[in-house]
Copies of this chain bind each other. A is one copy, B any other.
Amino acid sequence: MPKVTEEHRVARRQQIVDAARTCVGEQGFHKTTMADVIRESGLSAGAVYGYFKGKDEIVAAIADDALSSVDLLFQEMLAAEGPLTPAAALRKTLDFVVSLAERHGTDVTRIGVQAWAEALHNEVIFATASAKYRMLRGHFVDVVRRAQADGTIAADANPEYVGQVMFGLIPGFILQRLILGDVTPESYSSGLAALLDKP
C-alpha cells in the first residue's frame, strides 16, 4: 500500500468527476452506469470506489459542481462597488450561463436541470440545491437593495420578493435554451426591458 500524495488523490478524484460529468451530460444520471464512468475515467472499478463510496456520492459531487457554478460570477460582480441595475445584473448572469454552457465538452446547464429533478427525491442533492440557490438568490437580493438605494427600484418594495423574480428568470432561460433553442441573452434581456419600460 504505497502512500500517495494529496495532490494525486485530488487529481484522481477530479478525473472521476470529469468522466462522470461527461457521461451524465450525454445520458443523464440514471442511464449512466458505473461501468460507463469507470470506462470513461480510465481507472478500474476498485480505484473509483476508493475515491467515492458509491454512485450516489459521485452524482452528488457532479450536481454540487453544476449547482455552484453560477455563484462564481457574483463573487466578482458584487465585489466591484458601484451602480449595478437589476437589468444589468441579469444580463451579465445570462451571458455567464451561456459561457458556462458552451465551455468544455459538457453543457453544465444540462447537468443543472438533471439536478433539479434529482433534488426532489434525493435528500443530499436537495440540501445542496437549497443552499446554493438560496445563496444565489441572496446575491440578487443584494442587487435589489443597491437599486433601492439608487432609487432604481421603489424603496418600499420587498427586496426578497424582487429577488425571487430575478432569480426566477434564470431557470426559464436555461429551459427555453435547451428545449426550445431560441432564446439568447439578447432576446431575453430585451424582452425584459420592454416589460420594464412602461410607456
List residues 164-189 of chain A with CB under 8 A from any CB of chain B.
164-173, 175-176, 178-180, 182-183, 187-188
Q: Does A149 contact B (CB under 8 A)?
A: no
- Tell yes or no: A79 within 8 A of B by CB: no
CA distance A134 to B183 in the complex (A): 12
Cα distance A194–B160 in the bound complex, in angstroms: 11
Q: Which of A179, A183, A195: most chain B Cβ within 10 A?
A: A195
Q: Is residue A114 within 8 Å, beta carbon to beta carbon, of the partner chain?
A: yes
Known: A116-B117, A121-B27, A198-B197. A130 touches B179 (CB 8 A): yes
- What is the number of residues of chain A that contact chain B, defined by CB distance less than 8 Å? 62
Q: Which chain B residues border A191 with CB–CB below 8 Å? A: 157-158, 160-166
Q: What does DSSP make chain A's interface, helix, strand, loop or mixed?
A: helix
Q: In the complex, what distance in Å separates the CA atom of A167 from the CA atom of B172?
A: 7
In whole angstroms, how far apart are the Cα atoms of A28 and B183 in the complex?
29
User: Is A38 engaged at the interface, CB distance under 8 Å to the other chain?
Assistant: no
Separation in Å of the A191 CB from the closest CB of chain B? Answer: 3
For the complex, what is the distance from the CA of A110 to the CA of B113, rounded to whole Å?
A: 13
What are 25 A-B pairs at a CB distance below 8 A?
A: A2-B44, A26-B121, A27-B121, A113-B116, A114-B117, A116-B116, A117-B117, A117-B118, A126-B179, A129-B179, A137-B176, A151-B199, A152-B199, A154-B199, A157-B191, A160-B187, A160-B191, A164-B176, A164-B182, A165-B172, A166-B195, A167-B176, A168-B172, A170-B172, A196-B198
**Interchain residue pairs A-B with the least CB separation, the first 8:** A168-B172, A161-B191, A157-B194, A117-B117, A30-B30, A165-B191, A171-B171, A28-B121
